[in-house]
Amino acid sequence: MTPTQPWPVDARHAHLMTGVSLLAAIGTLLIWFTDRQQGLTTAWDQWTIPMLSALYFGISVLHVIKPRCMPWALPPTLIATSVYLLVALHLAMVGQSLPKLYAATSLTQLIPVFYVIAFVSWPRGGAGISGLTYAGLLAQYLFSLHAPMPAGGWSDVHQLTQKTLLASVVIHPACILALSFITHLRGQLSTSQQEAFKGKERFLAMLSHEIRTPLQAMLGSIDLLALKLHGSTETRALDRLRNSATQLDTHLRDITEFTRLEDPALRIQADTFDLTQLLQDLRDDWIERAQSKGLTLSIDIAPDEQTSLQTVTADATRVRQIVSNLISNALKYTMVGGVTVHASLSRQQRGRAMTIVVEDSGIGIAAHHLAAIFQPYVRLEDARALRVDGSGLGLAVVQRLVDRLGGRLHVDSHPDRGSRFTVELPMADNG
């Protein structure tokens, strides 16, 4: 069984953010606990730090169970953190004691970490919230300049706190500027990447159209000619011509499709559709092909799954494309027996998911080839030896589509015994 390809960027980003929120929750609680034991917490810290820690923990859980809520949950969390930091800093400034100096020093150290998290987790609002936090810091510094020097022995502490603030006031703009620059570069990179994809896509679409249109005309003429020709030599020549034209058409379609899937801006739709009907339609599309090879093609759905599979939510066109490619391969690489498509629903960590299995009794794949077959343009020797047509893009397209839908793809296969491709797709209504 092969694992899926690396997780898509969005999923990796979500995992990173889950980890960051969890570490922030544990970190703040640990600091609060140790500071409390040493009497370094203020009345303000007493409740706000555990509340913030609970908030961070909530965010990490939300990232896992409802990632779509993050755009609403993150801004209030960042604003709450900023307010906490500024109020805590203000309280540290007005008090004159060593614990307060410790509080001011540690808070000014924490603020740059806050800027980084704000920029990474909220690219649109990171600069705004960081700028406002910095403005608050600057105001505290100006306030400290006018605050009266305390009587007694605390003037050193007062000066040290002021110096700590001054260092932060001077250094933090560089930090915010650098983060703004990185975010800007990231945005530019994704825009130019998208433009490059669009250019490539336009070129391929044009190329594909220019070649496929005459190709379709050729196929039409071949069919017409076939009606007129009766000699076996001529018919064989015409069949070869038809096969070659069809192959060319399929290759062009695969290449265009594969390129389109490289586009990070490709939109995935969420439709509610009947999966049993979709599988039945696919069977109707492929049954003739199966029968022409003497193979069976059946859909296997447990009776108690029938009703729930009639309303699933996902991108129906993409699901159809995935299953169609897998059935096409199963029929291509099976000589005796048949192909069965199983479908079921499961409950996963993130909610409901549909599982579709395409199983065949074909030539199978050796274990050491299992990882390679998902690479673009890879065709195995066995497939070539069978003289079966293919571009080596079918499974690469399936892998990309499954990744785009946030799912997983596994394959179990044994030479001469057959293959079993399993696709797990989360329901689009989970998020």
| Residues within the interface to ligand ADP (CB under 6 A) | 329-330, 332-333, 360, 362-365, 373, 378-380, 382-383, 390-396, 419
Q: Kindly tell me which of 191 and 247 has the beta carbon lying closer to ligand ADP.
A: 247
Smallest gap from Cβ 226 to ligand ADP, in A, equals 26
Q: Kindly tell me which of 62 and 326 has the beta carbon lying closer to ligand ADP.
A: 326
Distance CA 238, CA 245 (A): 10
Smallest gap from Cβ 370 to ligand ADP, in A, equals 9
Structure tokens given for 185: 């570069």
Q: Kindly tell me which of 29 and 378 has the beta carbon lying closer to ligand ADP.
A: 378
Q: Kindly tell me which of 143 and 377 has the beta carbon lying closer to ligand ADP.
A: 377
Smallest gap from Cβ 297 to ligand ADP, in A, equals 13
Distance CA 50, CA 30 (A): 10
Q: Kindly tell me which of 251 and 350 has the beta carbon lying closer to ligand ADP.
A: 251
Sign of the four-CA dihedral 195, 198, 202, 204: positive
For residue 219, give the H/E element and its range. helix 155-228
Smallest gap from Cβ 311 to ligand ADP, in A, equals 30
Q: Say if residues 133 and 104 touch (Cβ distance below 8 Å).
A: no
Residues 6+ apart with CB under 8 A from 385: none
Smallest gap from Cβ 402 to ligand ADP, in A, equals 13
For residue 93, give the H/E element and its range. helix 70-94
Distance CA 52, CA 132 (A): 19
Smallest gap from Cβ 127 to ligand ADP, in A, equals 44
Q: Kindly tell me which of 94 and 366 has the beta carbon lying closer to ligand ADP.
A: 366
Which runs of consecutive H residues, i.e. helices, occur in 229-350? Answer: 232-262, 275-292, 303-306, 316-332
Smallest gap from Cβ 113 to ligand ADP, in A, equals 46
Give the DSSP letter of residue 411.
E
Residues 6+ apart with CB under 8 A from 266: 260, 404
Q: Kindly tell me which of 292 and 307 has the beta carbon lying closer to ligand ADP.
A: 292
